[in-house]
Structure formats: structure tokens, C-alpha cells
Structure 1
């Protein structure tokens, strides 16, 4: 596929973006054991199956097989991403090579475009701006996935119109649909009308449902052609104002009554490794799990313990999907409504942002700027941060079999007051894992089995698992490797050693190991952790479930004393 690179960004930005993508590719090849390699202090050699070698200079080597590239090798020439594939993966068949190259090229060019947004809008001032403003300040995307900035199907102009990094302001088109054509949970369409009282009624027996503007322009009319032609589905000319979050498809509604709600919408766009629709299962499971978690943390004893005082849920009270379709088609016309974190407006001065924003930009990450803003040493700041974050998540997973997918995109940090008092908000219940047997056991141990019923999820939902390894891997990978691991990596580039940060995490987890139970404790303190092999799944399309590779556990690698 030929893409006019010059229409996306200038050559210097494309070169900077290529370094980011090639770095992720090189790390994936090493960490997921896709190629033979030799990793030394300042150099990396990657060796293809036919013996070709590519040598990289490194500016830093981090724990868990991660590293920073100093520069692109000259051998990669003017098209570094394409050359990387050609040199190191010569046996890929043409179809797979074209697919991977298309994904990587779009990821590379949109990252370059995103860096142009950074240059144009700046990196922001700590303590100032709205949550929507800080959702826009995540320029490089997933720190480990080569498809970090992939938005398949979007042109450069569409990225500028709809992308959060460009401070986009959206209008969500409203569809008029017969009420009986929509399967709803929690009065979804009535809630939309309550949030926007000025909306005109679509007529008797019909309701209004919002869609993403890109989805209107590029997907829906063709996908549901017959239902549009019959008049069953029709656009009204009305719309809802919103700002995009860093995920692109989830938006912050600018409601007329001042209440804070977010809306998760489907788009027929691939980002990283998946097309970002909203499954029928998630429209049912989200409200169900929201209600359960709200009741769980309100149980006597748990509420008084204040264990969850600093961890909050962006609950999902309502949803819909288009009925009369196979679920695989309904997922393109659906939505989930979420409570926003600013519903509590009486809390005084707050600074809300996605955790992912703390990692960027690499040259001067927001975490370090925030520490200076709060006049706190980075290690002290990190210690307070980790003490607020880890115990409640460990307790949910270890004792109740509920692993939240607490990676940097799914977590908001809420700095309150000058101290600051650090709180967290979890969003997106679609990625959690729940072990019904472990939850049932945990409820019985607390004597709560008569008060709380184990949720019964939509049939076939990935949310439910009977694998303890799957459960603990969700905790270890999303929270420890991705969230804290990438935060530590960002901090360690600026004068604070990993050896001063991982022992903080180790101490907190060890101190709270009674919250975890034996299974999770064993996985957390094992010699090796499971690494999610994300790029392996893109290279080998036969793999339909996550595969894992071992990495050295940094808790043990940097442990300063023998814990007894």
C-alpha cells in the first residue's frame, strides 16, 4: 500500500516517529523471542532466520528486556519501518507482509502527525486544564506495541478532525430509531434526553441514539444500508457536543445540565491489534459489573477499612445495541454510558488526567514536571502514588478473583489539593477478568454470599475465566509491567534509578501480601513474570488468544534486602 507520507508530517517528525516504532519492533522481537539477538549494555544485535544482522546503539537498558534506541541504523535507509521488515523477516508471505507493513506505516505516520500536534499545542502546564485537555496530551500511544498509533482507515485530515491530540471538538450525530429496534439497559435513550433537554423528540415510538461522526461518514450507511433505505434508521440533523478521550472512540459529553458523563462508541477502526467496536456482551456486562462492584465496596467492614478510599469506579449505568442483527454486526451500532470523575464537584481544586499522560513527552515526562509542581522528590511522589494504587487492586484480584485491567489508558489519576491527595479512577469494565469460583469463595469467607450474587455474564464473554493464571496475568501485566513498569521507565530516564523505584513497589506489595492470597502472592513474587506477546499475534495470525513469554521479575532483580 502506497501512502503519501509528505501529506502527514515533515521529514524530521517522520524520522522521530520511525525511531519510536522501530524501538517497539526491536523490543518485541527480543522480548517475545521472535528473533535471535545479543543484548549488551550499549548495543543490540538482531539476527534474522537467514543470518542477516542489524546492529543498534542503545541509550539505555531497562528491566524486563526493555531499552531505548539512540538512533536508527543507517542500513534502514529512508524507509526504516519497511526496511526492518524486509531485512529481519524475509520469510513472511506477501499477503502477511503487506498487512503488517500497512499497519506499521499508518502507525508510524500517525505518530509523526501526533508529534506535529505536540509541537503545535505544547505539552501543557501542570495543574491547569480540563481532563479533555490532558486526554489530548498522549502523543506516542502504547509504549510497547509497534502499532502504537495505528488508526486504520483514517486519513491525515480525519486524524486532525477527530483525534484528541489535535484538541478536536466533536458533534455526535443523532440517529432516529424505532424504540423496538434498540435493546437498552438502564434507560439509555431517556438518560441522553435528560442530559440534553433541548433535543427535539424524534416522534412517537422512536428514540435518539448518538454515533461517532467518523462512523456516520465512513461506515454506518453502507453497513446497515437496507435499514437506512427503509427509513427505519435515519439521521435527524441534531447532534451532541463532545471531546474525544485518548482512546479516540470514547468521548466526554458536554452536557447541557452540567453533569459529567462519558460515552463509549464503536468505530470501524483498528487501533493496536483490534477493531474498536462495542460488543453486545460489553453493553450487558458493564452495567451488571458496575452494580456489583458498587455493592461490594460498600459492604460493612470494607467501607470502614478505607481500603477503597483512593480508588473509584467510573460506573457504566446504561447502554444500548441495535437489535435484529447478529451480535457481530450490532457491535458497530451500540454504546455504553459512563459516569465521569467530575460528578463530585464539591471536592475543591483537582487535576485530572489519564495515567498515560504522565509518561510523555519522553524528553520531559509529565510525572517529573508534576513532582516539581507539587514540590516533592520524584521517589517520594512515586511512593505515595504506589501506596494509593496497589493495595485495593491486589485485594480485588487476590481475594475476590476480580482483576481490573489497570494499564495507563484505563486509569485516571486525580490530584486533589496542594499535597496532593492522590486518587485513581478506573474506566472500561470490558477488559477485566473475573474468576467466578474465586469470587464465590471470597464472598463465603466474608459471610457475604447471601448479600451478593456472583454476576452472570453474557454467554461466551471473555470477562469470565476459570484460569487462575489468566486472572493473575491480567494483574501482573496491566498493573505491574505496563502501568508501573512504564512509569518507572519514564522516570529512570531522568536521574532516578530503577533500583530506587522497584523496591518501593516490592515493599508495598510485600507489606500487603495478606490481601492477595497465596495464588496471587506466588505469581507476584515469582522469579519470572508472564509477558503478553502482543506482536507475536500480529505476525502469526493463527494465534487467536494471548500468548506469553517469561521476563525476569524486577521486584526480585532490584530487591535490596531479603524479605522474611
Structure 2
């Protein structure tokens, strides 16, 4: 990849500029404020308007922000006046509030919040000196400077030095070759279709080819030294071509070969250490087969990007695991361009959402592609897709109109009755409606003032005969995931906890 200069930007006199710092503060404050306002703060009833006031119940302090889907400019009431606070002060305020609100300390999360902000600053610096990819799909995958809009530290990279992770950061438009390892044949563990891995290079006799993410190899250097020393592992060089990291960071794409690979990465990103865990790999083929069967029965145009199989080393089963995923071209409609849904919410350059000449028609087309396959998979096949913004692709035609949806990630997919129908439905509603449709609807309304996106969502949902739909359309609340409290209390990232949010679908 092109090496990125890590030095901060300077003015004509060589002094560091603070524009990057201000922008990083704003980017990092928005999701943290979203979490605080959703999960903890209490809105004051007479404080509506563009700067609503909230009471923080733990400390009793008053907080006001500039309202919007990305809240900004936080202020606290001190000595009879409103005082503006930056990101560092906001982190301190949130930490003190959560200590009192929960009765629990947390030594890690404040540091992760600061790390997330510093990561954004490094990414903004890098993006100012690199060129975005021409491919609109890759550009959409690499556009997420905000990231998860309701997570307190969405861009944290494990607290390591910038030089360790920036060469592999999708948001910095990174690209890099994969490291090729040879695993002794008696140490190979695999399941499913892994033929795509054998096409990456040539392993010597008695060994099988195993690609590795270079960042993960750096993290594992000490642990893997014995395996390299005794010949269980060999270094065979690198791929002759670069791969592009996608929004998930640990998943990469190679456009010329139309190939996706997903790796373990021993770094906490949002709620979890991003390993391919043994228990998930063991159920992968069953889950993926169920999803492929469901989409096959639908007859298109919606598509499932299959996680065909995995390969790893038995002595580092989770650490070196790599998963093979279907490419795009075998699933796309002719002439359609796939785009990451999260990129549409982030407003990447060239997004058709911002330029839609008829936003109502665009939104109705979007809903027709995204909603039916998720509901059909659940109702007809017992497959609970994790159809959030980062697992959903929307393909558009030459005019920018949505014509197809593609879904991915067997690791996050659940099956009935492994989870109860009620729990599966709650998860579906959170991922599809709260995480996904709410964000796209808000972005669309922001760019097209006066648009009310929710009647179209109600009409699309009402077309489907699931018994849960009438209750969803009448319920006063929807489930909102509590990422701030989940991280503060140290709950497992997979242990989703929800609180009630006002339901914009409710007709009253």
C-alpha cells in the first residue's frame, strides 16, 4: 500500500493546525452523545428546540446539545451559565455519571473513548493525504469515519500505536498484500469449501496454504514463534496483489478476483475482540446452509453472500482462522452497483441517497429490496439475519435507484429454535428497523427536508403476513441496544441488552 505520513498537519509556519482536532472531537462526540442521551439522560419536558436540555440523573448535572442524528456542541450548566465542553471533558462527564448511575467503576472504557477520538484524528490526517478508491463499492466500505452511531468508542483500535494499525485501516483507504503461510498438513483444521484459499499461491509438499492478516501476525508474533521454529508453520511470502479492508476491518476484498476473506483479529472493535471464535466456526456451515437455502427459495433478486468454509491451524484454531466468502459478481443483477448500507448513512462521496431526484420513490425502492428478504427468511425459514447497516449491501442501477439487496455474515446469523422466536424477532427488529432503517431514514430526511420516511416503512411492513407485524406497527416502543451501559458494566458483547425507544411506526 501507499505509506501514510503519520505527522500531524501543519500551517505555513510549520505549526500544527487544530482543524483536524476539532473535527475529530466532533466525530467522536456524536456517537458518545447519542449513547448518553438514549441510555441515561432524562430530557426536560420544557426544553424542546434545537438545543434540548437533559438531566444526568447520577450527578444531577444539566447537559444541552445541538439536536440531530449526530448531536454536537455539548454544554453543561455551571455557575448559572452554559459552558462548552470538548471531547476530553465529555468523557470525564460520562464516566462520572456512569459511576454514580450504575454504582460500578470502569477503568477501560474511558481510555477506549479517548482512543476512538485519537483514531479519528489519525484517520482524518491520513485521508487528507490519500486518494479514495475509484470503485464506488470499495469507497462505500471505506467511508465510515463516524462508524456505529450509537457506540461510545466506535473507532477504538485497541490502544496500540498508530503505526501498528493505520496501514490496515479501511477508513484511511488502506490496501495491502496478505501474508502467505504454510501449515503442516497434520496440523490443518478446516470445514466447508476452502478451495479459494488454495488459489492464492503454492505450498510446499506436506503443507497447506493459509493466508494471514499481517496485523494479526504482528499481534501473535510471540505466541507463534515456537510453531515457526519447529516447522509447523512456514512463511511463504505475500500475495502478488493487494486486498482492500472493508468496513469490518478484519474482512478484506480483492476486486479483480472478486474474493472476500474474513480473519480473526485480536483487537477490540466496538463491543468484542474480533476473533473467529471456535463455537461460531463449528456452527458456521449449518447456519450458512440455512441462509443459502432461504435465499435460494426466494428466487431473487435478493442474495446471500455465503461463508463457504474456514481453514486454520489446529494449534492456533481461533487465532489463525480465515473464512472464505462469496464474491459479488455471481450474485449481482446486470449493471447493478453494490454499496454498503452503512456508507449510505455516512454520506460517502457519490452516494445516490444524497442525489435522489425523487426521494420518496428512492426510499420506497430501497424498502422493497431490503425488507422482504429479511422477513421472509425469518417467517418461512427460521433464519434471523443480522441485517444491520454493516451486513447489508444495496445495489443500485445506473440512475442510482435501489434494485437489489445482498446480505452477509453467517457468524451473526441465528436460527430458530436455537433462539426463541420472541428473542429472534426482537433481534431482527433491532437490526433491521432501529439500526438500519432508522439511520437511512434519518439521513434521507436530512438531505431532503420535509420528507416523512415512516409511512412508507409502515406500508412495506404491513404487506407481509408475519403474526408479529401488527403488534410491531402498534407498539409504543422499539428495542434499542444499550452499548454504553453494556460496555461500562463489562457484559459480553453478544449479550445484547435493550431499552424501549419511541416507535416511529406506531400510528397512535
Q: Distance between the aligned counterparts of 2:292 and 2:99, measured in 1?
A: 52
Partner of 2:54: 45
When residues 35 and 370 of structure 1 are mapped into structure 2, their CA distance, relative to the original with a 3 A threshold, is closer
Partner of 1:477: 430
Partner of 1:101: 110
1:294 aligns with 2:292: yes
Partner of 1:55: 63
Deviations, residues 227-261 of structure 1 (Å, cap 9, x unaligned): 2332212222233631111111100135xxx5422
Q: Distance between the aligned counterparts of 1:543 and 1:247, measured in 2?
A: 19
Unaligned runs of 5+ in 1: 61-65, 304-308, 437-463
Q: Tell me, what secondary structure is at the counterpart of 1:555? A: coil
Indicate conservation of the 8 Å contact 1:531/1:548, yes or no.
Answer: yes
1:228 aligns with 2:228: yes
Partner of 2:336: 350
1:263 aligns with 2:261: yes
Partner of 2:248: 247
Q: How many pairs are equivalent?
A: 486
Shift of 1:71: 5.2
Partner of 1:456: none
1:425 aligns with 2:406: yes
Superposition RMSD on alpha carbons, in Å? 3.0
Shift of 1:78: 7.2
- Aligned residue runs from structure 1 range 91-170, under 5 A: 91=100, 96-121=105-130, 129-170=135-176
Partner of 1:31: 38
Q: Distance between the aligned counterparts of 1:78 and 1:359, measured in 2?
A: 23
Partner of 1:69: 72
When residues 378 and 342 of structure 1 are mapped into structure 2, their CA distance, relative to the original with a 3 A threshold, is same
1:12 aligns with 2:19: yes
Shift of 1:554: 0.6
Indicate conservation of the 8 Å contact 1:136/1:246, yes or no.
Answer: yes
Indicate conservation of the 8 Å contact 1:321/1:333, yes or no.
Answer: yes
When residues 50 and 390 of structure 1 are mapped into structure 2, their CA distance, relative to the original with a 3 A threshold, is closer
Deviations, residues 371-407 of structure 1 (Å, cap 9, x unaligned): 1xxxx31121111111121112112223332111111
Which residue, out of 484, 491, 503, partners 2:455? 503
Q: Tell me, what secondary structure is at the counterpart of 1:493? A: helix
Q: Tell me, what secondary structure is at the counterpart of 1:342? A: coil
Q: Distance between the aligned counterparts of 1:402 and 1:416, measured in 2?
A: 28
TM-score (norm 2): 0.86
When residues 552 and 511 of structure 1 are mapped into structure 2, their CA distance, relative to the original with a 3 A threshold, is same
Q: Distance between the aligned counterparts of 2:62 and 2:288, measured in 1?
A: 49
Shift of 1:485: 0.3
Shift of 1:353: 1.8
Q: Distance between the aligned counterparts of 2:469 and 2:208, measured in 1?
A: 47
Q: Distance between the aligned counterparts of 1:110 and 1:415, measured in 2?
A: 32
Partner of 2:483: 534
Q: Distance between the aligned counterparts of 1:115 and 1:361, measured in 2?
A: 16
Q: Tell me, what secondary structure is at the counterpart of 2:180? A: strand
Partner of 1:80: 89
Partner of 2:366: 385
Task: Kindly indicate which of the two structures has a greater share of residues assigned to helix.
Answer: 1
Partner of 2:80: none
Q: Tell me, what secondary structure is at the counterpart of 1:398? A: helix
Q: Tell me, what secondary structure is at the counterpart of 1:40? A: coil
Q: Distance between the aligned counterparts of 2:211 and 2:243, measured in 1?
A: 11
Partner of 2:324: 337
- Aligned residue runs from structure 1 range 406-485, under 5 A: 406-418=387-399, 420=401, 422-436=403-417, 464-465=418-419, 467-485=420-438
Partner of 1:455: none
When residues 75 and 365 of structure 1 are mapped into structure 2, their CA distance, relative to the original with a 3 A threshold, is farther
Indicate conservation of the 8 Å contact 1:365/1:490, yes or no.
Answer: no
Indicate conservation of the 8 Å contact 1:322/1:330, yes or no.
Answer: yes
Q: Distance between the aligned counterparts of 1:543 and 1:283, measured in 2?
A: 18
Indicate conservation of the 8 Å contact 2:140/2:340, yes or no.
Answer: yes
Q: Tell me, what secondary structure is at the counterpart of 1:79? A: helix
Q: Distance between the aligned counterparts of 1:526 and 1:93, measured in 2?
A: 28
Shift of 1:294: 2.9
Q: Distance between the aligned counterparts of 1:123 and 1:211, measured in 2?
A: 25
Q: Tell me, what secondary structure is at the counterpart of 2:243? A: strand
1:494 aligns with 2:503: no
Partner of 1:366: 351
Indicate conservation of the 8 Å contact 2:170/2:244, yes or no.
Answer: yes
Q: Tell me, what secondary structure is at the counterpart of 2:210? A: strand
Shift of 1:121: 5.0
Partner of 2:189: 183
Which residue, out of 307, 314, 322, partners 2:305? 314
Shift of 1:284: 3.6
Q: Distance between the aligned counterparts of 2:206 and 2:52, measured in 1?
A: 67
Partner of 2:502: 552
Indicate conservation of the 8 Å contact 1:312/1:425, yes or no.
Answer: yes
Shift of 1:493: 2.0
Partner of 2:3: none
Higher deviation after alignment, 411-420 or 101-110: 411-420
Q: Distance between the aligned counterparts of 1:106 and 1:503, measured in 2?
A: 40
Shift of 1:272: 0.6
Shift of 1:86: 5.1
